Structure 1
Amino acid sequence: MKTVLVFKTSVSNNGKVQGLAPFLNRLINTNGRWNFDLEDCDNILRVETESPDVIAIASLLQKQGFLCEELH
């Protein structure tokens, strides 16, 4: 069963999304999907996966210099 995780981020443009894509693709398995909603004021990252790992996702973005906080 897939879980949808939603994060508030500081990723602000498509160039930054493209820079993160290889890291997110490695972290989110082939059955998962991720996308950013940069039109949203919180620059939302949505992750749909069968193996959710909130800490790993947040850490990945933080190591790349972005704020990342799960929304509940």
Structure 2
Amino acid sequence: MVEVFKTNIQEAEQCNIIIGKLLEYFPNSTINFDLEDCDKILRIHASSISSHKIIELLNSHGFHCEVLL
């Protein structure tokens, strides 16, 4: 399963922090950001994904996150 999110993350260092936090909840997943995209894309590939948990985690760190349809 792959889920794609629009974020407002700007820096690679911020990405690394968020990826580390997400891996705590989704340990066997592949997570990456595309900061070159205008939507600052976050992609998560995992067997089970909780969009609500991902959005909640990014919001708790001061970032905007929404599912990209």
Q: TM-score band (shorter)? A: over 0.9
CA contact (8 A) 2:5 2:65 kept: yes
**Aligned equivalent of 2:66:** 69
Residue 69 of structure 1, CA deviation: 0.3
Tell me how far apart the structure 2 counterparts of residues 34 and 21 of structure 1 sit (CA, whole Å).
Answer: 6
Same amino acid, percent of matched pairs: 38
**Aligned equivalent of 2:7:** 9
The structure 1 segments of at least 4 consecutive aligned residues displaced by more than 3 Å after TM superposition are: none
Instruction: Compute the TM-score of the two structures, normalised by the length of structure 1.
Output: 0.89
Local SS of the residue matching 2:21: helix
Residue 22 of structure 1, CA deviation: 2.0
Tell me how far apart the structure 2 counterparts of residues 28 and 10 of structure 1 sit (CA, whole Å).
Answer: 21
**Aligned equivalent of 2:26:** 28
Given candidates 19, 41, 44, the residue that maps to 2:17 is 19
Residue type matched to 1:22 in 2? Answer: G
Tell me how far apart the structure 2 counterparts of residues 21 and 4 of structure 1 sit (CA, whole Å).
Answer: 15
The count of corresponding residues between Structure 1 and Structure 2 is 69
Is 1:41 the counterpart of 2:27 in the alignment? no
**Aligned equivalent of 2:54:** 57
